[in-house]
Structure 1
């Protein structure tokens, strides 16, 4: 579809890899992302502009073309997720305790909207969003949502003022550097790797009613980018008997998380740092190498491309669940160190009590990421929760690693 902007025609069409790859990469390289007022991050998509959505059940990438020049792009995907829960009894006996079951809906996600700096404020971003929403509706999506920085006024205004989205959730992005030394794990915590089948059973039984939980969690856990799912339990209190027996008689406290290998999808690079900050960061690395027994928190070299691991499915139960999560984060740090990553990241609800167990650096993190949502049509979810966009936030949220 084409529309005249000024004196030139802008065409929004589907991305064609052989034809568009190099021109899309050129736009990506001049579009920096990151919270304003902090160090900006440049994302390199490893030569595959659509790689960050291709692991989703349905995905699309559109480009905006002006003459022979690509001036913008947008990515989107569609999946089925939990939007609420309903009560169901475990049998016909009315005296049995009710059980919560997930309510699913088909939701679309917009990722990676980019417009060339020289072509902004011309309505190109709006045209890209409208083109993506048309594809969403044609494929049965009931809601569309996006994530943006809370202080990115241009992005927030585009979606809330011009596209009809409303502010919905404010999760926290927590980022921790991967240091030159391994993290020491507590002796009183045992970490057990789970196979995908056991991990799926655990997630579906304990977290399927969590908001945004993907119904195809098995596809996520079996994806080659998932490096594993890990369970933390008190040492000596439990051995792994299989998912069914574990769920019937779990220890008093436990925690779980999975690790997604973003390093094989894209790399990041910090730009905009002053010479003083670069020198300070280098000094911490020099001191750490000279005095390794001090185990100083040195700053990795963020000023050249680096990879990250994303922790997803963070959850747990019991009075020591925060301690268990902290141990799992240390384990994930060591895994990232072995694989040459610069940071470990996760995203959780800002209300989640387990957030206290996730180590992070404030200068690299975002306390309030902003998710905006829009209702595209009638809600046909099983056991409708009404208009999901008006529902209050819960204590936790499931962040799909395919969209990070």
Structure 2
């Protein structure tokens, strides 16, 4: 083991020479119930970020083999409840922000595991984070992925920080009916940015470059829901909700593996019936047993006694948009205590519990420590990191 590990070289990923080997490694690691196909670009999921980096672990002398890889990105976000906030001249408050790094895409070849390659990749990526001014680093993983959780919490010094839920809803063959009590308005990116900054800039993980996200070609639009007849009065309604749609279809595809033939046949039957008799509006199980794509709903928020109803109408609109685009599912990720999650349709069998782990890379100003802060009701989930 020691000899194999000593021959491992960690270096920066080279798009011109490493693409084929990186794709092969990605496929060799797809041994779980859910595999990911990155559409031929290992950097696709972080390339939209303002600052990104990718490393590979290489072994061998004359015939070199890539046996591990990792991706990372850096952005500025709101850190949530580590008040006091800075006071503004008009008497308001400015939420505290920090430079946050994101760890993703850690892969190690099944033939070279348990020799420290994953740890080496994380440590080298953290060196790049520190050189580029990141104060914190975080990683998203499934709560039941014991190997990943142990690596980051036991060996890399990360703390279990937040436990959001990844809510997944199938896209049916039939259109979903949108409540007649609700009016849905498409916002221009500039209008959406004003709304997000004015209403959600103090939400934990809110990105300072929200305008870049909303103007990204993968962002399919931002939609505002209000009670019918109230928006035209010119005053802001008591109840409202907003969300944006991200086209993950252009970045990666997913596939569920290891399901029995009986369950696949049963799922296919529901799709056939739904397709033949769409007026019955039978909930059909999507074909997730072959490579499929999804739309991701982000920036979910709202206020008022009917906010959950507004969110449900927006999710119905997003479902119909995903159906038109040929997606199998729509998904959203929200905080475990998010009050609006009641309005987000999802199937529990498809919706895993997530775990976000956070690490302080250097001391923040004034000695504040985000890793020990209590969770808020909501988090802002960046679609570039899903």
Confirm or deny a common fold (TM above 0.5): yes
User: RMSD across aligned C-alpha pairs, in angstroms?
Assistant: 1.7
Counterpart of 1:350 (choices 333, 336, 343) is: 336
C-alpha contact 2:172 2:274 (8 A) present in aligned 1:
no
Structure 1's unaligned 5+ residue stretches are 35-39, 93-97, 242-248
Q: Taking structure 1 as the reference length, what is the TM-score of the superposition?
A: 0.91
Which SS does the other structure have where 1:363 is aligned? helix
Partner residue, 1:233: 226
Partner residue, 1:245: none
- How far apart, CA to CA, are the structure 1 residues paired with 2:88 and 2:151? 46
Partner residue, 1:105: 98
Counterpart of 2:261 (choices 275, 288, 296) is: 275
Measured against aligned partners, the alpha-carbon deviations of 1:76-104 in whole angstroms (never above 9, x if no partner) come to: 00000001354566656xxxxx5332111
Pair 1:293–1:120, CA change in 2 (3 A): same
Measured against aligned partners, the alpha-carbon deviations of 1:334-362 in whole angstroms (never above 9, x if no partner) come to: 01011111110010101000011001111
Q: CA deviation at 1:293?
A: 1.7
Partner residue, 2:385: 403
Counterpart of 2:169 (choices 176, 179, 183) is: 176
Pair 1:240–1:108, CA change in 2 (3 A): farther
Which SS does the other structure have where 2:350 is aligned? coil
Partner residue, 2:370: 388
Partner residue, 1:124: 117
C-alpha contact 1:261 1:310 (8 A) present in aligned 2:
yes
C-alpha contact 2:5 2:116 (8 A) present in aligned 1:
no
- How far apart, CA to CA, are the structure 1 residues paired with 2:34 and 2:3? 30
Aligned residues: 381
Q: CA deviation at 1:291?
A: 2.3
Q: CA deviation at 1:7?
A: 6.7
Measured against aligned partners, the alpha-carbon deviations of 1:204-252 in whole angstroms (never above 9, x if no partner) come to: 00000000000010100111110000000000111396xxxxxxx4201
Q: CA deviation at 1:119?
A: 1.2
Measured against aligned partners, the alpha-carbon deviations of 1:117-176 in whole angstroms (never above 9, x if no partner) come to: 111111110000001000000000000000111111111100011000110000110011
- How far apart, CA to CA, are the structure 1 residues paired with 2:286 and 2:333? 21
C-alpha contact 1:64 1:128 (8 A) present in aligned 2:
yes
Measured against aligned partners, the alpha-carbon deviations of 1:283-336 in whole angstroms (never above 9, x if no partner) come to: 111221232221101112112111111000000000000000000000000010
> Hey, which bits of structure 1, 4+ residues long, moved more than 6 A?
none
- How far apart, CA to CA, are the structure 1 residues paired with 2:22 and 2:128? 21
